[in-house]
Amino acid sequence: MRAYEKYYRIFKLGIQSSLEYRMDFVFSLISAFFPIMIQYFIWSVVYGSSDSTQYFGYSYNEMILYTIIAAIVTRIVITNMDHEMAVDIKNGNLNKYLVQPLHYLRFRISHLFGQKLLFFSLMIIAIFTVILYFSFQNGNPIQIRRLLLFLLAVLLAFLLNMMISYAIAAIAFWLSEISYFFEMTGLMVIIISGGMFPIEIFGPRVNILLTYLPFKFTIYFPVNVINGKLDMDAILQGIGMQFLWIVIMYLISRIGWSIGMKKYLGLGG
């Protein structure tokens, strides 16, 4: 069997898996809207109790738009792949992949793309609906070119987040307890990626630091592509940075896994 046929079958298995667990899929859709409602009420109180029309460079409508799109993009790009890989390492499940003619990362990516396909499609439709609503409300029609660049930015953000997860998962070779570690790192990554609120909230010094890290390019950047905060030059530069960070994180993860595999005994427990 050719390599692409093998991973295409794995991709289809991912789709089947998402269809088999329909209730999980429904709950995932519903849970995506709870953070949006909480943020909506918080920002409504903040803006409503002050004479200021802007906070952190965002008007009320811009902040609500950011909150909605960021929550949806977060659901798209977050993979949980690091935790699944770490469990494979700690429980010895990695063995069954090592003895098969499979590339473990390609297997994970193919299966994850299949699992995410339907959810990804519905979330993109939701984003387009929100954007159209705010565009008509503000009298600023969205450009088709910006929509296409947004789709590219989200896809690259998804790939970048997978590479970050792949790198973080390698830490499981050295940790005896992994569950709490990955819960904490997962929440931290979402926050500094702009998944809960714009990173301008952290102040200029932290923003300078985040500029030299990959996280802002997974959520904050794609959101600002579609909400009109970035001009075309900044968008193209950001997409270039996404490509660069995907390569860098892949190389870092390969080094981490190469070193970790020398420690791996495959005994589980």
Each residue of 124-153: pLDDT tens digit? 888 888 777 777 776 667 778 888 999 999
Q: Cα–Cα–Cα angle for 238, 219, 236, nearest 5°?
A: 15
Best CA proximity match to 78, nearest among 197, 194, 238, 230: 194
**Dihedral of CA 78/81/87/89: which sign?**
negative
What's 108-163 look like in SS3? Answer: HHHHHHHHHHHHHHHHHHHHHHHHHHHHHHHCCCCCHHHHHHHHHHHHHHHHHHHH
Domain ranges in the chain are 3-261
pLDDT at 11 over 60: yes
| Residue 28 tokens, joined | 């995932």
Burial of 14 (C-beta count, 10 Å sphere; 0-12/13-18/19+): buried
* Residue 237 half-sphere exposure toward CB, CA atoms < 13 A: 7
pLDDT at 122 over 70: yes
For residues 81 and 169, the answer to whether their CB atoms sit within 8 Å is yes
Confidence of residue 25 (pLDDT cuts 50, 70, 90): low
Each residue of 68-116: pLDDT tens digit? 889 889 888 888 788 788 888 878 778 887 777 778 888 888 888 888 8
Q: What is the pLDDT of the chain when averaged over all its residues?
A: 84
203: left (phi over 0), alpha (psi -120 to 50) or beta: left
Q: What is the pTM of this model?
A: 0.87
